């Protein structure tokens, strides 16, 4: 099993290319089920989750090809992949596939919209929370689907097709908003979704669906209107930059010090998180085709944050920001409002010398003057990279095990950090 070894103490200087967003690529790939034409996606990242979803879509009959010759591949660029679902060969998403990646449950929306039926395994629990699917089910029921739970499967049917309706989400859900956008695109009549998620990935999906012939307005606001159409066509769409990867490397620069340009990304995708970093002592400015992040001299300031749906502070940057706060001057507090079990990295950070106490969903971090390298273990995707960030500033050597979590969402992390002066290497076996 691979591990990541970090020797701390080096400042980061140079350029880090930002990959396409995993959280945008996955729903965009699933949208290929909505049409029998080819959907071409540019800037698709090389990630374990993407490869797993390709296998899952293949189970439903989606063919794919990758543009370009392997020898000419530029590792700083995302792939261009062509997805074609000419014929849906199976409307069942089995447990052995869905259990490996929760986002695969989202196929229920396009399968129901195009084939009028779907049988999708319940995804089960998750390391960072239960993440129930009741919001998905109630939303699809509002569009006229009949849904039952049978032997661990969600069995959905819409004889005659889905019908537009008004639906108010009782709580904001990014995944359920994705599913409703896809399902309502082929529903008869108008659908209005209220209390919809506002994340940039929602806008990216809506833009792609509109390019395919959908009629969606209001994406990026809490009210989205979809005028259903009878069929969607193929399209070509570029996956937006990964705002979580952007924030992660910005936090890494604030932690280690230095001067790094994050290329191919945009500050508007994570304005709240960048503002918190400025308060912590980082200098951040827009530059042509990216963002420049610096911390040259001066300490790290203690900053309180609370996670919140977009445009608030992203829950997917909470662990990374906590790693930064372990070396802040003073005491900071981080409140997690999205997931009930997203503090599992606390005990691993403590192994490096961090002083963190928990009271419910609030973490109190007392900054320390030094961290010391140690063996640590990743517990989930974002927790894994928080340990890498801590290791960049720890004295001595830090080894992070279970990095298969890391590979789900960060492309070539050791290469990107290494090019900027970090001593980071992958150890196989």
CA distance 328 to 280: 8
pLDDT of 129:
42
Please name which of 101, 44, 160, 46 lies closest in space to residue 416, comparing C-alpha atoms. Answer: 46
How many helices and strands (H and E) does the chain possess?
14, 24
Is 266 marked as a binding-site residue?
A: no
Residues 6+ apart with CB under 8 A from 34: 85, 110, 113, 114, 182, 185, 186, 209, 212, 232
**Nearest Cα to Cα of residue 181 among 206, 161, 218:** 206
293 strand-pairing partners: 260, 284
**Gyration radius from the chain CA atoms:** 22
Q: Please give the pLDDT value at position 98.
A: 87
In the chain, CATH 3.65.10.10 covers 3-19+241-427, 22-238
**Annotation-wise, does 304 bind a ligand?**
no
CATH superfamily membership of 3-19+241-427: Enolpyruvate transferase domain (3.65.10.10)
For residue 311, is the peptide bond before it cis, meaning its omega torsion is within 30 degrees of 0? Answer: yes
Q: How confident is the prediction along the chain (429 residues), in pLDDT tens digits per residue?
A: 789 999 999 999 999 999 999 999 999 999 999 999 999 999 999 998 999 999 999 999 999 999 854 444 455 568 999 999 999 999 999 998 888 888 899 999 999 999 999 999 988 544 434 456 889 999 999 999 999 999 989 999 999 999 999 999 999 999 999 999 999 999 999 999 999 999 999 999 999 999 999 999 999 999 999 999 999 999 999 999 999 999 999 999 999 999 999 999 999 999 999 999 999 999 999 999 999 999 988 899 999 999 999 999 999 999 999 999 999 999 999 999 987 777 889 999 999 999 999 999 999 999 999 999 999 998 877 788 999 999 999 999 999 998 888 888 899 999 999 999 999 999 987
Does 260 show up as a binding residue in the annotation?
no
Q: Which residues are catalytic?
A: 126
Tell me if 133 is assigned to a ligand binding site: yes
Give the span between the Cα atoms of 6 and 374, in whole angstroms. Answer: 10
Rounded to whole angstroms, what are the CA distances from 65 to 40, 82, 94, 141, 185? Answer: 9, 5, 24, 35, 26
The pTM is what?
0.94
What does CATH list as the number for 22-238?
3.65.10.10
């Amino acid at each position: 099993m691979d591990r990541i070894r970090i020797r701390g103490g080096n400042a980061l200087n140079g350029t880090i290319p930002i990959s396409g967003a995993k959280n945008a690529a996955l729903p965009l790939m699933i949208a290929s089920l909505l049409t029998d034409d080819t959907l071409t996606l540019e800037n698709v990242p090389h990630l374990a989750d993407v490869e797993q979803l390709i296998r899952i879509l293949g189970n439903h009959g989606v063919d794919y090809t990758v543009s370009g010759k392997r020898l000419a591949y530029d590792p700083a660029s995302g792939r261009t992949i062509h997805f074609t679902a000419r014929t849906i060969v199976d409307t069942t998403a089995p447990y052995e596939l869905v259990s490996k990646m929760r986002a695969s449950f989202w196929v229920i929306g396009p399968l129901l919209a195009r084939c009028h039926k779907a049988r999708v395994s319940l995804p089960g629990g998750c390391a960072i929370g239960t993440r129930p699917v009741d919001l998905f089910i109630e939303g699809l029921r509002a569009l006229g689907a009949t849904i039952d739970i049978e032997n661990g499967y969600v069995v959905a049917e819409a004889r005659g097709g889905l019908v537009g309706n008004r639906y108010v989400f009782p709580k904001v859900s990014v995944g359920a908003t994705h599913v409703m956008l896809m399902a309502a695109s082929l529903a008869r009549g108008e659908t209005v979704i209220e209390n919809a998620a506002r994340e940039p990935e929602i806008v990216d999906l809506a833009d792609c669906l509109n390019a395919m012939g959908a009629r969606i307005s209001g994406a990026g606001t809490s009210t989205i209107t979809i005028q259903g159409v009878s069929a969607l066509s193929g399209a070509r769409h570029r996956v937006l930059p990964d705002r979580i990867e952007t924030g992660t490397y910005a936090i890494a620069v604030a932690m280690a010090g230095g001067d790094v340009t994050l290329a191919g990304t945009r500050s508007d995708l994570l304005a709240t998180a960048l503002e918190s970093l400025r308060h912590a002592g980082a200098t951040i400015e827009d530059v042509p085709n990216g963002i420049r992040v610096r911390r040259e001299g001066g300490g790290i300031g203690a900053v309180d944050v609370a996670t919140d749906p977009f445009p608030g502070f992203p829950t997917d940057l909470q662990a990374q920001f906590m790693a930064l706060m372990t070396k802040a001057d003073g005491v900071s507090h981080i409140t997690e409002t999205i997931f009930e079990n997203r503090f599992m990295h606390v005990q691993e950070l403590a192994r490096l010398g961090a002083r963190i106490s928990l009271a419910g969903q609030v973490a109190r971090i007392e900054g320390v003057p030094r961290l010391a390298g140690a063996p640590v273990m990743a517990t989930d995707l974002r927790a894994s990279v928080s340990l890498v960030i801590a290791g960049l500033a720890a004295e001595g050597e830090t080894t992070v095990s279970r990095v298969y979590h890391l590979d789900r969402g960060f492309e070539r992390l050791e290469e990107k950090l290494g090019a900027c002066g970090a001593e980071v290497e992958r150890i196989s076996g």
